[in-house]
């Protein structure tokens, strides 16, 4: 089984896996507009990990530990504990794509409950790559990578044996107004989060929003206008399909040398040839910075 893990790791490095919005599960050809997280829960992750379940329910925590223990037994081909599964995924660098991914407060609380159940210490900060606790294995991004490692028959059996409990009430999710963000800066958000490779959907989860301001974001336009963070074609192809890309050169860069401006404009022209780019913008007058006297 270790050989199969290594092969998955190599495919992840080369980005050769069939993808659906970045899905890393081999053979996944499902189409749709789901964001990666929704897709993962809908098609590949056992229901016991549904984050609408009460994370402090004893049967939920036990079910999650049992589901992970089953994966560990399959991969190591013997009865084992979850710390050994952590050692395996760290040794094979399976979680390397998760470097820099942050854990939301709700997910952290669920991880704390798993630590308490296992009787292991709670780290000051949960880290996904390299994993620093068995509890991080319940993060959906870790689970989808574990699903990718499993052979298809094991993956299907895993989902069927550990479904979402029918006798436990899910947290209600109220209907939210639909919104489309017509102008946001992916690169600047990543810089602010100190996570240059963080996926867009993870970025959206970082901000603290008041309940009355919550919306269901169905798409957006990502603006790239700073030469130092212009995206490559590969960067743009990795964005969700419901996010369009606009490129340009922000007016604040007008103080650059002519050579640097011309170089930036040449790069803009090349980016405009990319099919993911839907427009040219962030140009014209700028009043966001006071004029120098």
> Per residue in 111-156, pLDDT tens?
999 999 999 999 999 999 999 999 999 999 899 999 998 988 999 9
Residue 203 — very low, low, confident or very high, per pLDDT cuts 50/70/90?
confident
Do residues 67 and 85 touch, judged by C-beta distance below 8 A? no
Structural domain includes residue 198: yes
Which spans in the chain are helix H?
Answer: 2-14, 36-43, 58-76, 82-91, 105-118, 140-149, 152-161, 186-193, 200-206, 233-237, 258-271
Structural domain includes residue 291: no
pTM: 0.63
Q: Are residues 119 and 191 part of one domain?
A: no
Count of structural domains, the chain: 2
Structural domain includes residue 232: yes
- Give me the residue label for tokens 């810089």: 191
Res 33 pLDDT > 90: no
Q: Are residues 38 and 149 part of one domain?
A: yes
Q: Are residues 33 and 129 part of one domain?
A: yes
Compute the average pLDDT of residues 158-172: 87
Q: Are residues 225 and 135 part of one domain?
A: no
Percent of the chain with pLDDT over 70: 82
Residue 280's DSSP bridge partners are: 247
Token couple for 131: 């994993």
Which phi and psi (to 5°) does residue 22 adopt? 90, 10
Separation of alpha carbons 261 and 87, rounded Å: 49
Q: Are residues 237 and 111 part of one domain?
A: no
Residue 208 — very low, low, confident or very high, per pLDDT cuts 50/70/90?
low
Q: Are residues 139 and 44 part of one domain?
A: yes
Residue 291 — very low, low, confident or very high, per pLDDT cuts 50/70/90?
low
Q: What per-residue confidence (pLDDT) applies to 94?
A: 84
Q: Are residues 140 and 39 part of one domain?
A: yes
Q: Are residues 229 and 98 part of one domain?
A: no
Structural domain includes residue 287: no
Residue 279's DSSP bridge partners are: 246
> Per residue in 181-197, pLDDT tens?
888 898 888 888 777 77
Do residues 4 and 88 touch, judged by C-beta distance below 8 A? no
Q: What per-residue confidence (pLDDT) applies to 117?
A: 97
> Per residue in 74-114, pLDDT tens?
999 999 999 999 999 898 888 887 877 888 888 999 999 99
Find the domain containing 210 and state its range.
178-280
């Amino acid at each position: 089984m270790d050989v199969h893990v290594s092969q998955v790791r190599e495919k992840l490095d080369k980005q050769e896996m069939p993808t659906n919005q970045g899905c890393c599960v081999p053979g996944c050809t499902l189409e749709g507009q789901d964001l990666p997280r929704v897709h993962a829960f809908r098609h590949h992750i056992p229901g016991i990990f549904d984050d609408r379940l009460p994370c402090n329910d004893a049967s939920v925590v036990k079910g999650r530990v049992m589901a992970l223990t089953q994966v560990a037994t399959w991969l190591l081909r013997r009865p084992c504990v979850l710390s050994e599964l952590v050692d395996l995924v760290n040794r094979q660098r399976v979680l390397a794509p998760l470097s820099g991914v942050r854990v939301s407060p709700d997910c952290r609380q669920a991880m704390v409950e798993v630590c308490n159940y296992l009787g292991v210490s709670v780290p000051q900060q949960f880290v996904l790559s390299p994993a620093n606790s068995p509890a991080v294995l319940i993060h959906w991004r870790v689970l989808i990578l574990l699903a990718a490692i499993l052979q298809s028959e094991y993956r299907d059996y895993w989902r069927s044996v550990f479904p979402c409990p029918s006798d436990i009430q899910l947290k209600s999710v109220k209907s939210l107004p639909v919104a489309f963000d017509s102008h946001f800066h992916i690169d600047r958000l990543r810089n602010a989060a100190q996570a240059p490779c963080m996926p867009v959907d993870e970025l959206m989860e970082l901000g603290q929003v008041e309940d009355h301001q919550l919306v269901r974001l169905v798409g957006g336009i990502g603006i790239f206008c700073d030469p130092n963070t212009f995206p490559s074609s590969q960067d743009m192809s990795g964005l969700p399909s419901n996010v369009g890309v606009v490129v340009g050169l922000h007016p604040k860069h007008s103080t650059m040398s002519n050579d640097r401006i011309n170089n930036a404009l040449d790069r803009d022209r090349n980016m405009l040839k990319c099919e993911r780019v839907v427009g040219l913008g962030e140009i014209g007058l700028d009043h966001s910075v006071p004029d120098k006297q």
